[in-house]
Amino acid sequence: MSDRAMQEPTLLLLTALADEPRHGYAIAREVEKISDGRVKLRTGTLYGALERLLGQGLIEVHEEEVVDSRLRRTYTLTPAGREGLGAEAKRIAATAREATRRLGVTGEATGGATA
């Protein structure tokens, strides 16, 4: 992993795989759920990103099976993917804490109230 911030699609894909292995369609649904419907990955974009993450060693094929005469791959995080996602989550949390501090926002459920 580099010291650069992850691009949002990478962050969302890795987050979708953090709790359990998933196949492509389930990953796409999970990304949409995580992003509150804001990010909808098209099939080509999704599988291109999965191939890139495989090549980077951040994910691996967990299982392959034939379903309705089609090969279905289930993906999971590698240790490097888990480490990278954890580091990115810490970086984002630290930035959010600093932004909150500088804005003078108190509590999570204040609805934008200031101190």
- pLDDT tens profile 12-40: 999 999 999 999 999 999 999 999 999 99
Q: Looking at the predicted structure, is the pLDDT value of residue 71 above 60?
A: yes
For the entire predicted model, the pTM comes to 0.84
Return the axis-axis angle of helices 8-16 and 79-103, rounded to nearest 10°: 120
Q: CB–CB of 62/21 below 8 Å?
A: yes
Q: Looking at the predicted structure, is the pLDDT value of residue 108 above 80?
A: no
The closest of 54, 56, 11 to 30, measured between CA atoms, is: 11
CA distances from 31 to 62, 64, 86, 88, 101 (A): 19, 21, 17, 17, 29
At 114 the pLDDT is 47
**Residues 75-86: pLDDT tens digits?**
999 999 999 999
At 106 the pLDDT is 76
At 9 the pLDDT is 92
